[in-house]
Structure 1
Amino acid sequence: MSSLVSVAALRGSRAAWAFGVLTVTWLAAVLFAHGFDSLSNFRYLVQTASFLGIVAVGQTLVVIMSGIDLSVSGVVALSAVVCAKVASGTGGGANGITAALALSALVGAVNAAGVVWLRVPPMVMTLATGTILSGALLVYTDGSPSSAAVPLLDSLANGRLLGVPWAFVLWLGITAVAGWLLHLSRAGRYAFALGAGERAARASGVPLGATAFTAYVCCALLAGVAGLVLLGFTGTSSLTMGNPYQLLSIAAVVLGGTSILGGRGHLLGTVGGALLLTLLTALLTSWNLSEGVRQVVLGVLIIGLLLVYARERRT
C-alpha cells in the first residue's frame, strides 16, 4: 500500500509541476504581452489547446507502454479530408464522421499489427504509415483542400456550454475516460507494466499484444476525433493541417511528466503540457517571432526534458 501511495505522489508531483510552469508562463504573458488578460483570449487558447490535447491523450497511452506514434499528423488530415469529401458529396455529415473514425481506427490497427506481430520498431512503423497516408491523401485530393459544412462538428468546435468552449469540454471528457482506464483499470496496469519492461510484463501474464493493439487503435482514433473537430473549426480540410500535432503531441506528453521511455506518467500532466505549449506558441507569436524560432525554442525545451527524464530513469 505504501508503494502505491508513493507512486501516486510521484505522478501527482509531475502533473503539478506541469501546471506550475503553466501558471508562471501565463503570468509572464499577462505582464509582458498584450491581450492575454482578456476572457475572450483565454477562451480561444483553451479552445485551440483542445485540438492538441485530444491528440496528446492518445499519444500518452502509447508512450506510457514504451511506444510512439508518428502517424498522428497523417491521421488528423485523413479524418478531416475523408469527412469533408463524404459530407460535401451525397454521403452527408453523419456518414462522413463514421467513415473518418473507421479509417482512423483502421490505421491504428495497422500500426499495432506492424509493431506487435511483425516486430517493427514503433518509430519506424508509424513513420512509414504516416508517410503512406500523406501520399495516399495527395493522390486522393490532387493536393486541393476540401470544404464542408457539418453542423455537428461546427457546434462542437465553436459552440459553448455555459461560456466554456465545447471543444474544451470534449477534451476534458475524453481525458477523464482515458484517465480512468489508464490509472484505475486492469488495462491501465497492463500498459504501465509493458512500459516498465516487456520481459517482466510477459512473465507476469500481461497480454502484450492486446495491450499494444488497444493503445495504438485508441491513439489513432483520438487523432481522428481531433481531425473532425479541426474540420468543424476551420470548415476546410488540407493535407498539412495535422503536421503541427506530430511534434507537439509528443512534447505535451513529455512536458506533462510522462517518461518517453515508458512505464511512468499521468494524463493530468499531459493536459498541463498541452495548455503550456499552446500558451507558449501564442506568446511567441505575439512577439512576432518567426515559425523557425518557435520551433527551435520548443525543440530545445523537449531535448532538455528528455535528458532530465532519461537521467531519472537510469537512477
Structure 2
Amino acid sequence: MRSAITLDSLMPFFGVVVLILAGSVFFPQVLSAGYLTQQLQIAAFLGLLATGATIVILLGHIDLSVPWVLTGAAILSTALVGTGNPVLSAIAVPAALAFGALIGVINAMGVAILRIPSMVWTLAVNSMLLGLAVLNTGGFNPKGQSSPLMVAMASGDILGLPISFLVWIAISLILGYVLTRTPFGRYLRSIGFNEKATFLSGVSTPSVLFVAFAIAGMCSALGGVMLAGYANQAYQSMGDPFLLPTIAAVVIGGTSILGGRGGLFGTIGGALFITLLTSILSVMQIDDAWRNIIFGVIILAMLLFQTLRKGAVA
C-alpha cells in the first residue's frame, strides 16, 4: 500500500490528531486508552463499509445499496443462528458474505451489462432489498440472535486490540496489495480514468466491474454481521445511518469521487476521522440533524478541494 500513501491520504490522519488534541481540552477522557480502543472498535464497522465503497468509487461508480446489503446480511445471519440448528448457525457468516457477493453481482449486472448509471441502479436495488425485508418481517424487528463467532468478531479483543479493528486492517492490507500490486488493481484504476480506453486496450472491463462490486457487497455484508454481533441482534434500517458517513470516509481519505485516484490507506484515516468526529459531536450533545449537515459540508469541501487541485495540476 506504500504507493497509495499521498498527501491527500495523510490529511485525515492529521485531522484525527487534531480532533484528539482539541477534544482532550474539553473532555480529558478522550486521551484514555479505553476511549481510544473503543473508537477503534466502532471505526471498524464504518471502515469495512468504506473499504468496499472505495473499490467501487475507484471505478468511477458509486454503490448506494450499502444500507440494505448491511441490514440484509445482518437479518440473514441472525435468522440462521436463531433457528437453533448447529449446521445453519455454522454457515451464518459465510451465508451473509455470499448474500453480499450476490447483491454485488446484481449491481454489476446493471452497471456493466445494462449500462444503467450506478447511482440509479444501486439505489433501486437498495429500495428492493428494503421491500423484501419488510415483506419478510412484516415491518417488525426480525427475530434471531448473533452467534458466539459474530459476538467475538464485533466485541472481542486480542492483546487489548479489538478483533473488529484487526479484521478491518487485515482486509484493507489484502485489498491494498491487490490494488497496488496486481493487474486487477491496475485495470480497476484505469477504468476509473477512462473505461472506454481501457476496454479498447483489451481489458475485460465487465469482469473487473463484477469482481469489484462483489467485493464491495461482501465488505458491506461483513459490516452487517459485525454490527449484528455488536448489538446481538439485527433490526430494521440498521444500515441507514451509515451511507453518508461511508461516502464521507472515502472522500476524506483522498479518493476521487470521479474514479481512478485514491486508495485504502486514506480510507482508513477517513473512517477513523469520521468515527472520532461523531463521538466528539455526540459528547457535545450535537443532534443528528447538525451531524448530517456537518458530514455534508465536509464532503462538499473535500470535493471542492479535489476539483480545485485537479484544475491546478492541469
TM-score by length of 2: 0.95
Instruction: Letter of the 1:141 partner, please give it.
Output: T
**Which residue matches 1:69?**
63
CA RMSD, Structure 1 to Structure 2 (Å): 1.4
Task: Select the residue among 104, 109, 117 that pairs with 2:105.
Answer: 109
**Which residue matches 2:299?**
302
For 2:203 and 2:172, the matched residues in 1 are separated by: 24
Task: Check whether the contact 1:101–1:221 (CA below 8 A) recurs between aligned residues.
Answer: yes
Task: Check whether the contact 2:244–2:295 (CA below 8 A) recurs between aligned residues.
Answer: no
String of CA shifts for 1:103-160, please: whole Å, max 9, x gaps: 1111100000000000000000100000100111011112222340300111111111
Instruction: Letter of the 1:45 partner, please give it.
Output: Q
**Which residue matches 2:170?**
173
Task: Check whether the contact 2:81–2:144 (CA below 8 A) recurs between aligned residues.
Answer: no
Instruction: Letter of the 1:96 partner, please give it.
Output: A
Task: Select the residue among 274, 279, 291 that pairs with 1:277.
Answer: 274
**Mapped pair 1:93 → 2:89:** yes
For 2:132 and 2:200, the matched residues in 1 are separated by: 41
**Mapped pair 1:292 → 2:289:** yes
For 1:313 and 1:204, the matched residues in 2 are separated by: 25
List gaps (5 residues or longer) in structure 2: none
String of CA shifts for 1:180-215, please: whole Å, max 9, x gaps: 011111100001100001122122222210111111
Shift in Å, 1:267: 0.5
Task: Check whether the contact 2:83–2:144 (CA below 8 A) recurs between aligned residues.
Answer: no
**Which residue matches 2:120?**
124
Task: Check whether the contact 1:251–1:273 (CA below 8 A) recurs between aligned residues.
Answer: yes
Task: Check whether the contact 2:72–2:129 (CA below 8 A) recurs between aligned residues.
Answer: yes
Name the SS for the 2:35 alignment partner: helix
Task: Check whether the contact 2:156–2:162 (CA below 8 A) recurs between aligned residues.
Answer: yes
For 1:100 and 1:16, the matched residues in 2 are separated by: 33
For 2:174 and 2:19, the matched residues in 1 are separated by: 28
**Which residue matches 1:158?**
155
String of CA shifts for 1:227-263, please: whole Å, max 9, x gaps: 1111111001012111122111111100000000001
Shift in Å, 1:90: 4.2
For 1:220 and 1:103, the matched residues in 2 are separated by: 8
Name the SS for the 1:257 alignment partner: coil
Task: Check whether the contact 2:154–2:227 (CA below 8 A) recurs between aligned residues.
Answer: yes
For 1:177 and 1:88, the matched residues in 2 are separated by: 32
TM-score by length of 1: 0.94
Name the SS for the 2:6 alignment partner: helix
Task: Check whether the contact 1:84–1:237 (CA below 8 A) recurs between aligned residues.
Answer: yes
Name the SS for the 2:254 alignment partner: coil
Structure 1 stretch displaced more, 33-42 or 281-290: 33-42
**Mapped pair 1:15 → 2:12:** no
Shift in Å, 1:313: 3.2
Task: Check whether the contact 1:79–1:104 (CA below 8 A) recurs between aligned residues.
Answer: yes
For 2:202 and 2:15, the matched residues in 1 are separated by: 39
For 1:142 and 1:86, the matched residues in 2 are separated by: 18
Task: Check whether the contact 1:194–1:206 (CA below 8 A) recurs between aligned residues.
Answer: no
**Which residue matches 2:185?**
188
**Which residue matches 1:52?**
46
**Which residue matches 2:77?**
83
Task: Select the residue among 246, 264, 268 that pairs with 1:249.
Answer: 246
**Mapped pair 1:235 → 2:232:** yes
For 1:233 and 1:212, the matched residues in 2 are separated by: 32
For 1:48 and 1:269, the matched residues in 2 are separated by: 18
Name the SS for the 2:30 alignment partner: coil
Moved over 4 A (4+): none
**Mapped pair 1:143 → 2:128:** no
List gaps (5 residues or longer) in structure 1: none
Task: Check whether the contact 1:64–1:260 (CA below 8 A) recurs between aligned residues.
Answer: yes
Shift in Å, 1:34: 4.5
For 1:15 and 1:304, the matched residues in 2 are separated by: 15
For 1:311 and 1:216, the matched residues in 2 are separated by: 29
